[in-house]
């Protein structure tokens, strides 16, 4: 998102000024507010500031529901439950991200899954192996960032069958590097 603002002149009829001193449907916008104030003074209208819409933050489905509950709460009790879920026991960077989502809006993160390989593929009983996205020579190994699949990928690679066990990845799981 750009920090620089753009300015244009609009008259009371809703028409925009162009660079040829005419009002119509085409707008003449620049970063010079002073230039547009001078134009508005001589030809009428008022200066309009264009501000880019801020980027929306990506959050999990549960955090999105909690933000909606917090914003639409009618009572303190309703708000406190959502507030507690959103802000208690979180890291500083998570708090900033959630506040940005409350302020600027949010989009919900797609659910992701890890796929546990069949036990017969494991090298030992206590070390589970997860399917890996590259499906190369090492098609399975310990869980990590490269072993996370979207639902679309699960369908594409046919990993929804009875042979495989899928585990939903939570926000906390994604922070952990294995």
The DSSP H or E segment spanning 23 is strand 23-24
Instruction: Return per-residue pLDDT of the chain as tens, 178 residues.
Output: 456 788 889 988 888 888 777 887 777 888 888 888 888 888 888 999 888 788 899 888 888 999 999 999 999 988 999 888 888 878 888 889 899 998 889 988 778 888 887 777 777 666 777 777 665 434 445 555 567 888 888 888 888 877 888 888 865 544 433 2
Given 108, 130, 148, the domain boundary residue is: 108
> How many other CB atoms sit within 10 Å of the CB of residue 155?
11
Region of residue 34 (phi > 0: left; psi between -120 and 50: alpha; otherwise: beta): alpha
- Domain-embedded: residue 1: no
In this structure, are 70 and 45 located in the same domain? no
DSSP assignment letter at 30: B
φ, ψ (nearest 5 deg) of residue 26? -90, 135
Q: Are residues 95 and 142 in the same domain?
A: no
Rounded (5°) CA angle 154-58-115: 20
Residue 54 Rama label (left phi>0; alpha psi -120 to 50; beta)? beta
113, exposed or middle or buried, with CB in 10 Å at 0-12, 13-18, 19+?
buried
**24-32, long-range: CB within 8 Å, 24+ apart, which pairs?**
30/6, 31/4, 31/5, 31/6, 31/7, 32/7
Task: Output the CA torsion sign for 146, 150, 152, 158.
Answer: positive
For residues 103 and 117, membership in a common domain is answered with no
**Number of independent structural domains in the chain:** 3
Residues 28 and 46 in one domain: yes
């Amino acid at each position: 998102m750009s920090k620089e603002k753009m300015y244009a002149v609009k008259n009371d009829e809703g028409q925009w000024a162009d660079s040829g001193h005419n009002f119509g449907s085409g707008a003449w916008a620049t970063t010079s507010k002073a230039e547009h104030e001078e134009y508005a003074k001589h030809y009428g209208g008022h200066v309009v500031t264009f501000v880019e819409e801020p980027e929306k933050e990506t959050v999990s489905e549960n955090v999105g529901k909690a933000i909606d509950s917090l914003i639409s709460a009618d009572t303190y009790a309703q708000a406190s439950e959502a507030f507690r879920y959103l802000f208690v026991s979180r890291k500083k960077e998570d708090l900033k991200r959630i506040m940005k989502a409350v302020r600027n809006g949010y989009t919900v993160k797609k659910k992701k899954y890890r796929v546990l390989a069949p036990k017969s593929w494991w090298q030992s009983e206590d070390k589970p192996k997860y399917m890996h996205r590259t499906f190369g020579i090492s098609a399975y190994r310990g869980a990590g960032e490269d072993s996370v699949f979207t639902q679309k990928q699960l369908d594409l690679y046919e990993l929804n069958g009875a042979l495989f066990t899928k585990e939903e990845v939570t926000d906390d799981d994604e922070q952990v590097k294995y």
